[in-house]
Structure 1
Amino acid sequence: MSTSTSEHTTTEQATERGTRRRGIVRAVLAGGLVLGVGAAVTLAAWNDSEFATGTFGAGSFNLEGQETPGGAFSDHETAPGAALTFEVEPLNLAPADVVYAPFAVRLDAATTTDAVVTLSSVGAGANAANLTYEILTTDAFGCDADTTGGELVAAGTATTAADAATFDLTQGAAAAAGDPVNLCLIVTAGDGLVEGGAATVTWEFAAESVSDND
């Protein structure tokens, strides 16, 4: 009888110890979960950003010409363009006659880049093939038999010459027009000039901007 009681007591003690151990394990597990959550919170990071914005705009570009002494510069963007004033009557030519006309080009005050100008010409009419020309660059505006200057286009150039010459133009400073390039156009009638025949010659001064970023 006493043996049964002792065994019962031993069983209860064992059960109680098992219960305590399970409680300790649960407490440890619960503590581990709490520690795990705490570790996750410490992984948060600071965040910051920087932004940069570029603002862009286009410049301006315009070529203008002058055809008379003391005259204003203006645009002549399409053919036939400016009417040249020749010093000798150009409508009553005979073989070997020479006529002269001044012209000037520059970049206007709004232009924001330099330019390279390419010169070409187109002749039309019965006597176009019987005319040749020469162009000089001069210090002042004007052109006649006494004019001297640098040779831009050689004498004897055909009126149908493409890309006959190039020259530079510089933009003006502080919203001013650029310095002009003064030209003297000299046209010579050939020996084969047809009586009563007409001709027109159109010179094109094609300006191309020169980028400041090149």
Structure 2
Amino acid sequence: MMYFMSNLDQNHRYRQRMLFAAALVGLGLLFVAFLTAGGATAKAQPAAEMAADGQERALGEEDRLALSEASAYLTSLESMQGDFLQVGPDGSVAEGRFYLRRPGKLRFEYEPPENLLVVADGTWVAVKDSSAAAQRYPIASTPLSLILGKNVDLAEEARVLNVEEQPGSLLVTLADRSGEAPGQITLIFDRPKMQLRQWVVTDVQGLQTTVALRNVETGIRADNSLFVLRDDQRPDIGSR
């Protein structure tokens, strides 16, 4: 019985990891950071209230200005690295390390027991579990190019469902314009300095996954080897 329950738990954790990674790849928005203690607080609206009809919002002048600021910030962001914290819809928590080098490159490596690795090398994005072969997707065929491309234009390239200013924060809810990637994502930026600090992914069932970044450093150019994933490479988390 204990063996059976252990297998059920492992299968559940595996599904959660792979579904989350697929959501990140599909929405193309692998980003966000932790709301620091004592900093501004912002909460994404509940799924039922957040762009419930899934319709693109008619943007006003203030909305376009806010989106332009966010796009300019992402475009100017050449490199970033730090730690991340992920909270799943069932309350499960995973942690790890991330690296970003625009244009085109990123790496999310999960700490044990997850052993999940997500790598974009400028052409492909790969999702690798220690017990399975890597799954690869062309970056150009996914909305991931939205933030990894040379120039970012959220208003033009994403379907904008909501733009909301809160004290000390800007919340932007986006969906894939092509309609091929289900779900939506809410990006939370700190104001007034415009820094991305948190994101909440909502799937088609209304389940939410939150990812936060901590100990973030910018301007540090990560080594090219971090953005290479060969088919026979297994994630060796924490060795770098």
User: Fold-level match, TM-score > 0.5?
Assistant: no
**TM-score bracket for the superposition, by shorter chain length:** under 0.3
Which is greater in Rg?
A: 1
TM-score, length-scaled by structure 1: 0.23
TM-score (norm 2): 0.21
Higher relative contact order (CA 8 A, sep 6+): 2
